[in-house]
Structure 1
Amino acid sequence: MERGFTGLTIEGIAQRAGVAKQTIYRWWNSKVDILLDTLIDDAREALEWRTDESASAEENLASHLRRVADFFEEPAGQVLRALLGQAQLESDTAVSLREGFLKEQRERDVTGLRELLAHDHEPVVDERTLDHLVDLLLGPLYYRVLVFGAAIDQELVDTTARLVLTLARESSSASP
């Protein structure tokens, strides 16, 4: 991240790691592959869903969103931002990012929200609604960071958590 995406080279990575360039190519085909591998490892723990038994569903959801917001400020979050930018320009990067990290993280987010709702005896929602709720949960954060390049404040986190839970309750009461 010191040099930006375009300044990052396999040669530079090899030099910094103190290995030959061929060693890097033995494990990865491109700098995108290297960044994706590190992103997956770093994000797994940083974006993990956790439940505090003494907290409400809204507090637990806001806590998770705060971790997402904090992640965007960390080096791994900056890697994600760089890869998302590159994915707009290069279809191979887009496919790798979507079929790898983003798909896995999406599955963790759907599972995490489902378990949070069940744990806190919130309404049970169907899978399609759950999928939409994840969009509504994370969309504002990604929009704030990726479109406006602005930090995610606590008000956005709290409002988003509250609104998603309200929609979950409303969608379950509207179901036949």
Structure 2
Amino acid sequence: MVKKPAPDATRRSERSRRAIYAAALALVGEVGYPRTTIEGIAARAGVGKQTIYRWWGSKADVLLEAFLDLSAQAAHEAGQEREPYVIPDTGDLAADLKAVLRLTVDQLHDPRFEVPARALAAEGLVNEQLGRESVAKLMEPSLLLYVDRLRSAQRAGQVRPEVDPRIALELFVSPLAQRWLQHTGPISYEYTDTLVDYALHGLAPRTPDVPSGTPERDSVGP
């Protein structure tokens, strides 16, 4: 008799993990976070409840890890799978920020992300623990990328040295998040490009460049 090879537990575990990710994301999108349960995820994934508890402590842990995995898959599909990912530094801060925000727009329009992301974001507003975990695991790594890019711009003299990058990034990240969450307007490349322009150049009228060798005139003189 030909001896059959022993089942590969690693492959079986990976299949189960993928099934659990898919089930968790689908359920939270369909019924919302409060009605999503470990039992429901297990039933939809075709695994035992104890399989989930062996790997995760709560449904929040499952959902957050599933979302992180989804983000990693999207990065791989877009050819951005290098670790750790950084915002490119081409020397043009505005162009670099616009490019990464356009990728964010694409992700926010992707139904795979939009439905579970909205469910998690909405629940995070009333569930303090989930909110903190979402910020720490989902938002903070992305925000640090902006911090690093803005600090690079400071070293290059493109941003004032006294500017706090953690506050500065809110000028273009927070309005985008608010518009997306509250449906207050369309999410588009044009919108995020404008956010970057306003953030970097401000709202006051720009002083026209004075040609070299030309004396500046007093603004209140004749």
- Taking structure 1 as the reference length, what is the TM-score of the superposition? 0.76
Q: Label 1:128 to 1:31 Cα distance change in 2 as closer, same or farther (>3 A).
A: farther
The match for 1:5 among 33, 48, 64 is 33
Deviation of the 1:22 alpha carbon:
0.8
Asked if 2 retains the 8 angstrom alpha-carbon contact of 1:72 and 1:78, the reply is: no
The match for 2:53 among 9, 22, 25 is 25
Alpha-carbon distance in 1 for matches of 2:102, 2:185: 14
Instruction: Give deviations 1:24-67, integer Å, cap 9, x for gaps.
Output: 111112221111112233335389544384x9432322111111
Q: Cα RMSD over matched residues?
A: 2.9
Runs of 5+ in structure 1 lacking a partner?
168-176
Tell me what 1:89 maps to.
126
1:88 is paired with a residue of what secondary structure? helix
Q: Label 1:112 to 1:123 Cα distance change in 2 as closer, same or farther (>3 A).
A: closer
Tell me what 2:70 maps to.
42
Letter paired with 1:135 = E
Deviation of the 1:112 alpha carbon:
3.4
Q: Label 1:122 to 1:137 Cα distance change in 2 as closer, same or farther (>3 A).
A: farther
The match for 2:109 among 73, 77, 92 is 73
Q: Label 1:128 to 1:78 Cα distance change in 2 as closer, same or farther (>3 A).
A: farther
> Which runs of structure 2 are paired with 1:44-123 in the superposition (5 Å)?
45=75, 49-51=86-88, 53=90, 56-74=92-110, 75-115=112-152, 117=153, 121=156, 123=158
Higher relative contact order (CA 8 A, sep 6+): 1
Alpha-carbon distance in 2 for matches of 1:23, 1:152: 39
Work out whether 1:142 is the aligned partner of 2:170: no
Letter paired with 2:129 = D
Work out whether 1:163 is the aligned partner of 2:198: yes
Between the two proteins, the alignment pairs up a number of residues equal to 164
Runs of 5+ in structure 2 lacking a partner?
1-28, 203-222
Tell me what 1:171 maps to.
none
Higher helix share: 1
Identity %: 30
